[in-house]
A = this chain, B = another copy of it.
Amino acid sequence: MAITLKNISGICGVDISTVSRALRNDLRVKPETRRFIQKKARELGYRPNLAARNLVSGKTLNLWMILSDLNNPVDREPAQFLSRSLHLKGYELLITLYHAEAKKFNHLLSRLSQHVADGAFIIPSLEYSAPAYLPLFQNDFPLVFIDRQPLFDNCTTVTTDNKAAVTDLLRKCLDAGADRFIIITENDNSVSRLRLKTAIEFLTRNNSAFIQTDANTVRELPPKFLTGNIALLGSSRLDIEKYFQIFFSRRRPSLLISASFDSPPLNTADFNRIFVARQDFESIAETAADLMLEKISGSHQAETVEIPRKEIIEIK
């Protein structure tokens, strides 16, 4: 169906290799034949078959980005910035989704090892998937992890300086008058673990009253955490909103502060003060892109890069 080099070579009466050279603007081909062949190719609507080209070159000029879904800015924003910047560098960013399903995540990893891309950015699923990674590690396939690490060490990872961000958020809350803290966080990935650990250390050092809980286990709050000057520290606005609904939508403490990452709770009227630690997704994406190009070209040492958070914003 589609026009091939062979077709053109027949029509132009030259060898297929000459056609190939002409279309790649090889200067060895005589200018007039070059132009003639190019003209014919254009007329015929010739489009090179990239699968064939890849087979020869071993390159695809594709990079995959594997992420769970597009609802969360933590996944979406780096993808958008990466798409922009990689285009300028001659690569196509192809975004694929695993919809929070470990099985689909593994499936995508397995596709990756079948020469469909020259590298991949991954915001990983954290369920067990060592076997799925194996073929990629074996072949030194260029991988850059974003936001969180998989369960292995020695993966190139770009993440926010979460330690500083948590500390800054908590200090803001203290300055605003908070005297008891509710840390709402999962313990399920390297990022949340680090944030939790940092918060506990900071608040312990500071002799502040706090409790730790995760957003899914709803248990009674101790009475003193229903009144007073309370700060909610959560990874996302969703955690904060959920907790507010359950415990504070009916009775209000004297002061209620929201401190979260990336975005404020939707209903700003619910809180007296709102602080947000904005991650610098653009820098994260740029750094990830640079690391990827290094990995693809030379050999790059695995490392974890921490991007400073952008700033703490006071919404209110």
Contacts and interface: CB of A to CB of B under 8 A. Distances in A.
Interface of A: 1-2, 45, 47-52, 54-55, 60, 69-71, 76, 79-80, 83-84, 87, 92-97, 99, 104, 107, 110-111, 113-116, 134-135, 138-139, 266
A134 B45 CA distance: 8
Contact of A55 (B51, B60, B116): B51
A111 B94 contact: no
Given A45-B139, A51-B54, A266-B266, 20 more contacts: A47-B110, A47-B114, A47-B115, A49-B115, A51-B55, A51-B116, A55-B55, A69-B80, A70-B79, A71-B80, A80-B97, A80-B99, A83-B97, A84-B97, A84-B99, A87-B104, A87-B107, A93-B97, A94-B95, A95-B97
Q: Residue among A87, A104, A107, A135 with the most chain B CB within 10 A?
A: A87
Contacts of A110: 47
A45 B80 contact: no
Number of copies: 2
A280 to B, nearest CB: 18
Nearest to A97: B83
A70 B60 contact: no
B93 A96 contact: yes
Contacts of A113: 47
B2 A139 contact: yes
Does more than half of chain A's interface fall in helix, strand or loop, or is it mixed?
mixed
Nearest to A2: B139
A71 B79 CA distance: 11
B135 A45 contact: yes
B97 A94 contact: no
Contacts of A94: 94-96
A163 B183 CA distance: 49
Contacts of A96: 83, 92-95
11 contacts: A1-B139, A47-B113, A47-B115, A50-B116, A51-B116, A80-B97, A83-B99, A87-B104, A87-B107, A92-B111, A95-B97
Given A70-B76, A95-B94, A51 B60 contact: yes
Nearest to A50: B114
B87 A49 contact: no
A116 B113 CA distance: 17
Nearest to A56: B51
Nearest to A95: B95
Nearest to A112: B47
